[in-house]
Amino acid sequence: MYGFEDRLREESFEVTRIDVPAVSPKAKEFRALCEKNECREYGTNWGCPPGVGTLEECAETLRTYHEAFLVAKRYVLDPKNVKEMKRARDNLGDSSRRAADMIRPFAAVKVLGDGGCRYCGVCTYPGGACRYPLQRMDSISGYGIDMEDLFKKAGKKFAFEDCAVTLCSIVLVGKARK
């Protein structure tokens, strides 16, 4: 579809078609975890709570899409190494955004990712509007989506490892334009 799946697979990503995810019944727990701010991204960008909107607004956004694809790659690295983790996250973000760019001429598209939007060096949040709304990536957990459940439904194992990390994004696609 639009060539993006082949392109991602050429870049060593697994691409799995999934049902469009919904906000989980556990979403308030996920938001409480966001508020603990262990990732230090809470309240720093438009892709994380509270900038990403309420859970009701996130649910409404999800309902506007008709197809979804889970994009995942296992990176062999030390998860405690900040530089290596940044490189892996940038790789996932860049490839997911390129996939969205391939879809956009034909259908609405949105990418959700691991953590908040890191497209700009410093986000305009909260003082100004997003500079690049088409490139904005919102947080999967900020949307209240249960990743463990989503992995299970996609037939994948969700595991934490000492020497590797599996990062993923969700590419949401709207109805094809006529």
d(CA 88, CA 76): 9
Could you tell me how many residues make up the chain? 178
Residue with Cβ nearer ligand SF4 (16 or 135):
135
Kindly state the smallest distance separating residue 50's Cβ from ligand SF4, in Å: 13
Among the residues of 11-160, which ranges form H helices? 27-36, 55-63, 82-103, 147-153
Residue with Cβ nearer ligand SF4 (46 or 151):
46
Kindly state the smallest distance separating residue 97's Cβ from ligand SF4, in Å: 10
Kindly state the smallest distance separating residue 52's Cβ from ligand SF4, in Å: 9
Residue with Cβ nearer ligand SF4 (47 or 115):
47
Binding ligand SF4 (rule: CB under 6 A), the pick from 21, 47, 49, 93 is 47
Q: CB count, 10 Å around CB of 54?
A: 12
- Kindly state whether residue 39 participates in binding ligand SF4, applying the rule CB under 6 A: no
Q: Which two tokens stand for residue 137?
A: 């990536």
Residue with Cβ nearer ligand SF4 (93 or 144):
93
Part in contact with ligand SF4 (CB under 6 A); list of ranges 42-50, 87-95, 105-113, 169-177: 42-50
Residue with Cβ nearer ligand SF4 (129 or 159):
129
| Sheet with 137-139, side-by-side order of all strands | 14-18, 67-76, 164-176, 107-113, 137-139
Q: For 59, what's the count of Cα atoms within 13 Å in the CB-facing half-sphere?
A: 9
Q: CB count, 10 Å around CB of 169?
A: 24
User: Which of 121, 124, 113, 125 has the alpha carbon at shortest distance from 51?
Assistant: 125
- Site for ligand SF4, residues 85 to 144, rule: CB under 6 A: 117, 119-120, 123-125, 130-132, 135-136
Applying CB under 6 A, the residues found at the interface with ligand SF4 are 45-47, 117, 119-120, 123-125, 130-132, 135-136
